[in-house]
Structure 1
């Protein structure tokens, strides 16, 4: 077995060392942008090179170093027989929940106003937050979305979740299918997007959907930048319909320095780090899944190409 690690980034040597220790029967190498094929049959990727499958036509299994798989599915020259496997949680669930809770509480308890008051040396007393006035809706109830919904619900906020197919989550009102999307949006004040990026979900955060939320609604996008129509968000913020947004993912990353999101007073920005892959947890998953595949077993996280996740 030959495992190829791509990209060749600052942490590549640590990944190579750890993968070699976890899968001792394999040869492990790092992607060389100028190099020849290494005859890899397994790849571990994040932001994969566009010529990955062109150079390595023998690939049989590709692991994505994260929850998203859209960048791999978009690569040219790949065989439909290639098995694409996403990491399941790998330490990301708790981080994602922490991030969402942080941004939700910042909005619902008006900590932004308190920061302004501090800068102006004003002792500002605000009324207590009534959680019933801040119903949260989680778009996407995969592993990460379910964890987010459960944690937020445990804090006493009314929580609903929406998914393409029916799900059941304790303490969460569940909606499913396109026919229920508008009803889900209509009961939501804080919309949290944790959807996978597919042709069906691209641009889902647009004027039509966002304007169906409660007035003074708040958006938290921890999924993909291509879910959001940037100008629609700006227009709704400027019109006063939306109260604010916390954005962790963008159409172009890093976010261009002249993008209006940087300076908009109602937008909070983080550099796509709401949930970061933890190396040790990821490598244990990869090693276990490779061993299961070798035994002919079904493994979790295998991507359905038709659904896009």
Structure 2
């Protein structure tokens, strides 16, 4: 009997995902009724985006798991009607995209590319940029994305420190954790990359207090979550020169409001939440693998820890 798989996301996502999901199901040998309209009591799996109209999971009494299309789960993890397993998206395509975007911006800051672009009337001066081993890069967050970014930067020769809330071990990376570890990590951070989830414990982790631990003239790259940064504290640190420049891809409100001071600050680069996007083909394979696991009685992968919030 075919599985009933509900696609619960906005219509534009269905257009993008329908064919890759059907192809992945066929490749896995799974017979399924994949649709955006299935009676709640008949649904076996829910492929889900948190901005979907579906917010009450109570009627889905037969469903075995909710398979999130996004890496972020902060807007669904606290839903009290959701009693079944919730899997977040860990997509190889998204991970590769994040690695490439972060690496590009780290190299931009490391090499001083912005300042090396001359106007015709500028003074012609030679300088010797530092090599990667002379540059300290700190990654806040050592989940799948942070680990992949850190390993790539180590491969390029950078001196990389990683920080996480709980102890982690990654080959070639000095891994710190906890409050004291955060202070130590930031004290090294000539370039800081924020790849933490949005949880009550990580909100405003970049504050006036933590910014003060960073070296004078450091750089910040945030492709993680907007609430990680206290906006006013960052603006003050940019104004004082404590932070030389910040590249921000995520914000508390998106699109970034037209009157937000980030737009007018020459020391801020704003990008429109493009650092990493879930790729329909690779994400569909991840989702279908979890459906296969559920039907085979194997453990689901990428399960969310409700207590931790990710």
- TM-score of the aligned structures, taking structure 1 as reference length: 0.90
Partner of 1:27: 33
Tell me the distance in 1 between the aligned counterparts of 2:43 and 2:238: 49
Q: Deviations over 1:112-131 (max 9, x none)?
A: 1123x236465443332243
Q: Would you say 1:48 and 2:54 are equivalent positions?
A: no
Kindly indicate whether the alpha-carbon contact (under 8 Å) linking 1:149 and 1:161 is maintained by their aligned counterparts in 2.
yes
Tell me the distance in 2 between the aligned counterparts of 1:278 and 1:170: 28
Q: Deviations over 1:156-195 (max 9, x none)?
A: 2110101122222121111122332211111221111111
Tell me the distance in 2 between the aligned counterparts of 1:6 and 1:253: 22
Aligned length: 303
Partner of 1:99: 101
Q: Deviations over 1:221-270 (max 9, x none)?
A: 11111111111111100111100111111111111122111221111111
Tell me the distance in 1 between the aligned counterparts of 2:290 and 2:12: 25
Tell me the distance in 2 between the aligned counterparts of 1:85 and 1:174: 26
**Pick aligned residue for 2:71 from 67, 70, 73:** 67
- Identify which range, 61-70 or 118-127, moves more after superposition: 118-127
Structure 1 unpaired stretches of 5+ = none
Higher relative contact order (CA 8 A, sep 6+): 2
Would the alpha carbon gap of residues 71 and 120 (structure 1) be closer, same or farther in structure 2, given more than 3 Å must change?
A: farther
Structure 2 unpaired stretches of 5+ = none
Output aligned runs, 1:87-126, within 5 Å: 87-115=89-117, 117-118=118-119, 120=121, 123-126=124-127
Matched residue SS, 1:149: helix
Kindly indicate whether the alpha-carbon contact (under 8 Å) linking 2:10 and 2:51 is maintained by their aligned counterparts in 1.
no
Tell me the distance in 2 between the aligned counterparts of 1:90 and 1:5: 21
Matched residue SS, 2:119: helix
Matched residue SS, 2:35: strand
Matched residue SS, 1:112: helix
Kindly indicate whether the alpha-carbon contact (under 8 Å) linking 1:216 and 1:242 is maintained by their aligned counterparts in 2.
yes
Output aligned runs, 1:202-281, within 5 Å: 202-281=203-282
Tell me the distance in 1 between the aligned counterparts of 2:227 and 2:47: 24
Tell me the distance in 2 between the aligned counterparts of 1:46 and 1:209: 33
Kindly indicate whether the alpha-carbon contact (under 8 Å) linking 1:8 and 1:30 is maintained by their aligned counterparts in 2.
no
RMSD of aligned Cα (Å): 2.2
Would the alpha carbon gap of residues 273 and 38 (structure 1) be closer, same or farther in structure 2, given more than 3 Å must change?
A: farther
Tell me the distance in 2 between the aligned counterparts of 1:60 and 1:261: 44
Partner of 1:286: 287
Partner of 2:15: 13
